[in-house]
Structure 1
Amino acid sequence: MTIGRRSRNGLNGVLHVLTTAIGETLAPAFGGTDQADVGEACDLAEAQNVPDALLPEPLQQRNPLGIWRLRDGQFVKP
């Protein structure tokens, strides 16, 4: 399982995630991870949609520090 820039390998079997609305099992299952790993992945996915007003200034879209960004798999500098 890849979380951000890290890859997690483990021996914990398979972890299935359920939808909160109807309790249906989502596919694919996550092999070799634990609940904390899945929680971290969910937190990162949710953070991708944070409005600029809630982010620190260097992370906002206008990017005042000119930080390189990963966009569509390519590093770009504003």
Structure 2
Amino acid sequence: MITPNKLEQLAQQLGGALPPGLKSAADDFEAKAKTILQSQLSKLDMVSREEFDRQAAVLAKTRMMVEQLEARLAALEAEKGANDDNA
């Protein structure tokens, strides 16, 4: 997620890119750019990096459990098939 410091840096870069004749309005522009960026970014459906990492860990654990269950099921089916052949 973009932090307030990143927004501040981006606003400063945008202000720094203004032509020399507009430098007097740069501070006002930076403030408005920061406000607009914050507003637009808040509308996006994003999660924090921490939440993403948590969900990735849950997914990895779930995949491992599914693989273990698939292996157990295959073993049980093989055992049942062997028992059916012996009967």
TM-score range, shorter-chain basis?
Answer: under 0.3
More helix by share: 2
TM-score relative to the length of structure 1: 0.25
Larger radius of gyration: 2
TM-score relative to the length of structure 2: 0.23
More strand by share: 1
